[in-house]
């Protein structure tokens, strides 16, 4: 965020000294806020508003569009994250920057321009089954990229509840928990009844026909009798990780 604030500080100093006229300053402020690429308006101001730059949602965009957005974001020398990215997207990003890393399970590309201070407090990312790991990894990599310590507790669903209880100390020591589950989505309620920290429940589309592509898990989580549970959209590991990071840094 310092890069953006320094641009504003410099501009205000120039206005104060008379080096820049008001109309010139207004034009510069417009440019600082976003760059219009025609197919996308790259929101540089988001770093100041929300604490982290705009994240690229890769699905539905061409590789060339993503490369152009990456180039614009890279001009500000801040970290870049592209979600729902294929290997083709990663290879395209590598053509315009040499510091990209691909997390295949999470389907996330991270371009690390500078280090972020890592919190001491921990986020636990928990899955019901192995099949839920891709969504869980999206949450975990997002949280780690935003500067959080993440503990992973995978394949501890209610079909073998003893596996969850064996990790009780890890769950209880976390500051925020992200619980990822498909099928009937019961794991979030169980974890919510065990811990005194916020739980972010993520329903996944994993399951047989009557799970309705994650709708069954979503409704179970929304109807949980355990307090302290919030629910994000189906398969939305990114928002779960982002929200967990915001809570963890309060």
For each of the chain's 250 residues, which pLDDT tens digit applies? 555 566 667 767 777 787 777 777 666 666 566 666 677 766 766 766 666 777 889 999 999 999 988 888 877 777 889 999 999 999 999 988 888 899 999 999 998 877 788 888 999 999 999 999 999 999 999 999 999 999 999 999 888 899 999 999 999 999 999 999 998 889 999 999 999 999 999 999 998 888 899 999 999 999 988 888 999 999 999 999 999 999 999 8
Question: What span, in angstroms and rounded, lies between the C-alpha atoms of 86 and 126?
Answer: 24
Indicate if the alpha-carbon torsion angle 81, 84, 87, 93 is positive or negative.
negative
Tell me the helices (H) and strands (E) count for the chain, helix number first: 11, 11
What 3-state DSSP class applies to 50?
helix
DSSP summary character for residue 33: H
Return the CATH fold of 122-248: Rossmann fold (3.40.50)
Q: 95 — phi, psi (to 5°)?
A: -75, -20
The CATH 3.40.50.1970 portion of the chain extends over 122-248
Question: What span, in angstroms and rounded, lies between the C-alpha atoms of 130 and 218?
Answer: 18
């Amino acid at each position: 965020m310092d890069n953006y604030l320094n641009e504003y500080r410099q501009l205000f100093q120039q206005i104060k000294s008379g080096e820049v006229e008001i109309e010139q300053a207004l034009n510069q402020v417009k440019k600082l806020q976003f760059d219009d690429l025609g197919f996308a308006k790259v929101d540089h101001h988001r770093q100041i508003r929300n604490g982290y730059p705009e994240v690229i949602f890769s699905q539905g965009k061409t590789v060339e569009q993503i490369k152009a957005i990456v180039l614009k974001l890279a001009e500000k020398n801040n970290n870049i994250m592209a979600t729902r990215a294929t290997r083709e997207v990663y290879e395209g990003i590598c053509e315009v920057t040499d510091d990209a890393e691909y997390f295949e399970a999470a389907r996330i590309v991270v371009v690390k321009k500078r280090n972020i201070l890592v919190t001491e407090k921990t986020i636990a990312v928990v899955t019901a089954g192995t099949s839920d790991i891709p969504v869980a990894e999206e949450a975990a990599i997002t949280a780690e990229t935003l500067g959080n310590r993440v503990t992973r507790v995978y394949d501890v669903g209610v079909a073998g509840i003893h596996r969850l209880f064996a990790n009780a100390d890890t769950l209880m020591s976390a500051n925020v928990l992200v619980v990822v589950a498909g099928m009937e989505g019961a794991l979030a309620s169980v974890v919510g009844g065990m811990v005194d920290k916020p739980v972010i429940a993520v329903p996944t589309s994993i399951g047989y026909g009557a799970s309705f592509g994650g709708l069954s898990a979503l409704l179970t989580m929304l109807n949980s009798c355990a307090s302290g549970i919030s629910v994000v959209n189906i398969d939305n590991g990114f928002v779960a990780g982002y929200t967990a990071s915001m809570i963890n840094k309060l």
